[in-house]
Amino acid sequence: MPKNLSVEQKANWLEICQDLIEDLKLSQIFFDKVTAGDESWVFDYDPETKRQSAEWHTKSPHLPKKVCISRSRMKTMIIVSFDSSDIVRKEFVLPGQTFNHACYKDILERLRKWVQRVRTDIADDRVLHHHKAPVHTAVSIREFLEKKNISLLPHPPYSPDLAPCDFCLLFKLKSKLKSHHFRTMENIQKIVTDELHTLKENDFRYCYDQLKKRWNHCINSQGLHFEGDNL
């Protein structure tokens, strides 16, 4: 788990999720306004998890040995934003560029201009969802969002299990890419882009449906962490 929560933090989790469920009940188009976004590293080679590489075997003592394989050093960072129907925008951080609050503010500005030009249906009342990473909560980012009248969906700290990019979109994307070698940075970015293009509207709807379920899970568990759909 990311952190042992204090009593106050659990109460904060519970209050935020209760408020969000109430807002959702009051508006049938609540999720249509929400744009979720996050960033993540994608590696040239990322080994399978233990569960992915599990095999069925008999009770024979001669079991295959598995060598511990680490991730490759070649990697690229993707920043992706999506709503309940499609990818809104994605881009890759340039090689050698440091991903800090200044870089993130530039990305948000490009996202804002892109939405105003291409997604006029959500431009005026869009609500941004990103988690509480230090880059996302920097003073300059808060000031930028306030200046541009961009609202934030409340999100409790230390809660990747309530971030749709973490538990759904990027998780599924990176699971598909595990155990493959891409050799070059261009290949990594092309494969990632191609995989994102295979997603359908139902895939994005599923992410938001799961977010709603997880808010309810948080309420039922009184603010405790949970893994997957298990309390």
Q: List the domain range (segments joined by +) for residue 106.
A: 7-46+69-220
Categorize the per-residue pLDDT at 100 as very low, low, confident or very high, splitting at 50, 70 and 90. very high
- Domain membership of residue 199 (yes or no) is yes
Question: Tokens representing 98?
Answer: 């440091």
- Domain membership of residue 121 (yes or no) is yes
Least confident of 2-6, 39-43, 97-101, 209-213: 2-6
Q: What is the pLDDT of residue 25?
A: 92
The domain total for the chain is 1
- Domain membership of residue 106 (yes or no) is yes
Structure letter (DSSP) for residue 41: E
Question: Tokens representing 17?
Answer: 């999720």
Question: Tokens representing 161?
Answer: 């299990």
Helix (H, G, I), strand (E, B) or coil at 164: helix
Categorize the per-residue pLDDT at 71 as very low, low, confident or very high, splitting at 50, 70 and 90. low
CATH of the domain at 188: 3.30.420.10
Statement: residue 171 has pLDDT above 50: yes
Statement: residue 162 has pLDDT above 70: yes
Statement: residue 65 has pLDDT above 60: no
Answer for the pair 40, 174: CB distance below 8 angstroms, yes or no. yes
Helix (H, G, I), strand (E, B) or coil at 77: strand
Cα dihedral 191/198/202/28 (nearest 10): 70
Statement: residue 224 has pLDDT above 80: no
Residues whose CB falls within 8 Å of the CB of residue 127, separated by 6 or more in sequence, listed in order:
33, 34, 35, 151, 152, 153
- Domain membership of residue 60 (yes or no) is no
Q: What is the pLDDT of residue 63?
A: 54
Q: What is the pLDDT of residue 121?
A: 79
78/204 Cα distance (integer angstroms): 18
Question: Tokens representing 198?
Answer: 């295979």
46/24 Cα distance (integer angstroms): 38
145/129 Cα distance (integer angstroms): 12
Mean of pLDDT values over 146-168 = 90
- Domain membership of residue 61 (yes or no) is no
| This prediction's pTM | 0.82
- Domain membership of residue 118 (yes or no) is yes
Categorize the per-residue pLDDT at 49 as very low, low, confident or very high, splitting at 50, 70 and 90. low
Categorize the per-residue pLDDT at 67 as very low, low, confident or very high, splitting at 50, 70 and 90. very low
